[in-house]
Each structure stands twice: as structure tokens, then as C-alpha cells.
Amino acid sequence: MLPAFFILIGTHTFGLPFWLAAILGGVATLILLGLAFKKVMVDPMIHHGVLPLVIATIGLAILMKEAVREFYGADAWPFPALWATTDVTLFGAVFAVQSLLILATCIVVVGALQLFLAGTLTGRCMQAAAQNPAVARLLGIRVERMILYTFLINAALVWIAALLVTPIYLAKFTNGEILGLYAFIAALIGGFNQVRGAIVGGLLLGVIDNFCAVYVSSSYRMAVPLLVLIAVILVRPQGLLGRVEERTV
């Protein structure tokens, strides 16, 4: 949600061309949601445990949401698309070019991320810092820096997601919420500790959701992800593709 409004501020308030606003919005996202979020919120709070941090993050999300509503109002703002908003017919089915673009970008970005995390020493150091920070530290891995990289990558992904999704959902102060909830459920269904899991969960959820809307009832649509989630958690608590994690005591 936030990167979309950064970009809108660029085009509306400063009259920048869209491409420049998009780049500057990306930089602002990296600095504010990446660097500043880590330095101002996470670093001072992480010593008090994860739960206070989660609560503080939820608080921050509410603050940002309400701030956007305060300054931009509750209306949905149109947002330019990166690509044509037309449909194409492939194998007899109609696809929105937008959706195909999102899917393709998703595959490329996730592939690149996987390649980076598994295929480079820095990526593996990030994995090590996440899996066992104490051991990572005693090997001389700069754990703090790895965490910062994680936040920056995270911010970059948010920016990409905003560019892709906002033209469809329009820029609205509640954007993050519903999508975030869906994404969270998708990750739980697919398996939280696996990127593949989140994607499979997302696709599965999307397909089930649409079939239900067409063949069952569109008014119960919002309940479907939750029902799927309950079913999966009962049968496979680690998610469809998730691995059971061992915790050393």
C-alpha cells in the first residue's frame, strides 16, 4: 500500500513522470520500510522478544494506514498500469495481460531470490543468520548486516508487489490488509518455511476461491480461505510443502 502512495505523491504532488516517481518511490520504500523500520523499530525492540515487536509492527501498520487515510482520504485512487490492461485468448481461455504479467514477474523474482539465497555465499550467510544466529555470529558472519539485507529485500519485494497489484486493486488505504491476510493464509497453507510453499498455497487459494465464487456461493467467498486453512492445519500443521522444524534447546 505504502509504495503505491509514495508513487502517487510523486506524480500528484510533485508532478513527476510515472517512471521517475516509481523509482523514487522504490528508494523511499527501501529507506523507510527497509532501513528505518529495522533501525528505529526492530533493533531497539528485538531485545524484548518477538511478541512485543509483532504488536509494535501491527501498531505501526495501523498508524501508516490511518496516516494515508488522513492525507489521501478513503477513496481508491487510480494507478497507472505498467502494461496494457487488455485481455488475450490463449488455448481458448481469456487471460488478463495484467495477471499474466504478475505471474511471470512472480516466477522471475522468486527464482532470482532462490538463486541468490542458495547460490551465493552472501545468500547462504543470510540463511545461516536466520537459522541459527548464535552459531552464525561465532563463525564471524555479520548477522546484523544479514538482517538488514533481509529487510531491504523485503522492502524491494513490497515495492514490486505494489507496482504489479495496485493497477488492479487501485490505491486505497486498506490495500495491505486484505491482500496481507490472503498472503498470510496462503503461506500457512503452503508451508511457512518454504518460498515454494507460499506460491503453491497462493495459487491453490486463488483457484479454490474463484471456483467457489462461481459454483458455490460468492457471498461465502471470504470464508473459503479460512476453511481451507483449518483443513490443512488439521492434517498437515507444517503446511503442504513445509518442513517440520527442529529446535535445538
Give the nearest distance from C-beta 151 to other proteins in angstroms.
21
Q: What is the DSSP letter of 76?
A: P
> d(Cα 197, Cα 201) in Å, to the nearest integer?
6
Q: Name which of 234 and 244 has its Cβ closer to other proteins.
A: 244
Q: Name which of 139 and 168 has its Cβ closer to other proteins.
A: 139
Q: Name which of 98 and 194 has its Cβ closer to other proteins.
A: 194
Give the nearest distance from C-beta 195 to other proteins in angstroms.
13
Q: Where are the alpha helices (DSSP H) in the chain?
A: 2-12, 18-29, 43-45, 50-72, 97-119, 121-131, 133-138, 143-169, 175-190, 195-211, 223-235
DSSP codes of every residue in 6-49? HHHHHHHTS---HHHHHHHHHHHHIIIIIIIIIIIIIHHHGGG-
Give the nearest distance from C-beta 121 to other proteins in angstroms.
7
Q: Name which of 51 and 121 has its Cβ closer to other proteins.
A: 121
Give the nearest distance from C-beta 116 to other proteins in angstroms.
14
Q: Name which of 134 and 235 has its Cβ closer to other proteins.
A: 134
Between the CA atoms of 109, 111, 117 and 123, what dihedral angle is there, to the nearest 10 degrees? Answer: -60
> d(Cα 2, Cα 7) in Å, to the nearest integer?
9
Give the nearest distance from C-beta 136 to other proteins in angstroms.
8
Where on the chain is the footprint of other proteins (CB under 8 A)? 121, 124-125, 127-128, 131-132, 134-142, 246, 248
